[in-house]
Structures are given as C-alpha cells and as structure tokens.
Amino acid sequence: MIETVRSAATIFWVEEGVHWEAWDLLVGRSRPKLSLADCATIVVARRLDAPVFAFDEDFTLEGLKVIPGEEGAG
C-alpha cells in the first residue's frame, strides 16, 4: 500500500524560500493545529496549483483541493 502511494506522489524538497514562507504562514495563523510541515505543504501546493493528499480539514480550510475529498472521508 505505501509503495503505491509513494509511486503516485511527487516529492518536493523544500528550499529556504519555501521554508521561510511557510514560517510566515505559521506565525500569521490563529489555528494552532497547523504545523510547520502543514504550512510548507500549503505553500508548495499553492505554488504548484496541486491537490493535497490528506484526511483532515486543515488544507480544505486553506482553500486547497484535497484528495480523497469529502466523498472519501469517513
């Protein structure tokens, strides 16, 4: 199962600019559930206009397309 997910994913190595943009996003948010990794994911997804594979609502609340989405949750 994990190899299937891994083969379908694109790995984006975070560079310094993405890191600091994610840091600014983290510091500017009032929702404490967001981690620095979450914020980096948000920054990269926005830059690439890409969906995010996730099961929580944090990314949807940020306006991102989430896979599997509402129909796959639960």
Beta bridge partners of 66: 52
Query: Which amino acid type is present at position 42?
Result: I
Tens digit of each residue's pLDDT (9 = 90 or more) over 30-52: 777 889 999 999 999 999 999 99
What pLDDT sits at residue 71? Answer: 56
The answer to whether the beta carbons of residues 42 and 22 sit under 8 Å apart is yes
Instruction: Tell me: pLDDT of 2 over 90.
Output: no
What share of the chain in percent tops pLDDT 90?
55
Instruction: Tell me: pLDDT of 72 over 60.
Output: no
Question: pLDDT tier at 10 (50, 70, 90 boundaries)?
Answer: confident
- The domain segmentation of the chain, as residue ranges, is 14-72
Instruction: Tell me: pLDDT of 66 over 90.
Output: yes
